[in-house]
């Protein structure tokens, strides 16, 4: 799950620390997990982490997984240009795969247009077991 994207030059120190932590995390992290990992770097308050996360999410560099109340680094450094972002979350090992599906995005867009619904953001979470965990259980 770890990612290795180029670090944008205009991030604050806290944003760099938080994004670096998410980039190298093997699983989603809560804000308090991030805070615990970055205490030695001088981060002491949850608000410091939440502010950094808010900006990273706003810029499309990180995503919040609603069902886990946790964060992951964006797997696609250009995903902020896409509409639908989907996540497959393994309930056995915690692995998260990020993907986009144009067909689903088009169907949701058509539904929104037909019903007059204005979509602000679309995030989809699918829970189950990854192929590795399914093989291990067999």
Closest by CA position to 81, among listed 102, 96, 67 = 102
Q: Are residues 88 and 42 in the same domain?
A: no
Where residue 50 sits, what CATH number does that domain have?
Answer: 1.10.10.10
Provide the residue range defining the domain that includes 56: 13-73
pLDDT tens, residue by residue, 39-91: 999 999 999 999 999 999 999 899 999 999 999 998 876 565 556 889 999 99
Question: Do 91 and 133 fall within a single domain?
Answer: yes
How much is the pTM? 0.84
Final residue before a domain boundary, out of 21, 51, 73: 73
For residues 90 and 67, state if they share a domain: no
119 located within any domain: yes
Over the stretch 1-50, which tens digit does the pLDDT of each residue have? 555 566 788 999 999 999 999 999 999 999 999 999 999 999 999 999 99
Q: Quick one: 67 and 109 in the same domain?
A: no
């Amino acid at each position: 799950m770890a990612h290795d994207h180029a670090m944008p030059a205009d991030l604050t120190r806290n944003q760099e620390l938080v994004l670096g932590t998410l980039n190298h995390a093997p699983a989603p992290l809560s804000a308090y997990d991030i805070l615990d990992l970055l205490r030695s770097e001088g981060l002491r308050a949850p608000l410091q982490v939440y502010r950094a996360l808010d900006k990273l999410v706003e810029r499309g560099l990180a995503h919040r997984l609603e069902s886990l109340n946790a964060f992951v680094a964006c797997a696609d450094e250009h995903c902020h240009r896409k509409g639908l972002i989907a996540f497959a979350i393994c309930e056995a090992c915690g692995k998260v795969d990020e993907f986009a599906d144009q067909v689903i995005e088009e169907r949701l867009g058509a539904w929104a247009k037909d019903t007059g619904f204005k979509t602000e953001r679309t995030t989809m979470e699918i829970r189950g077991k990854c192929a590795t965990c399914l093989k291990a259980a067999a």
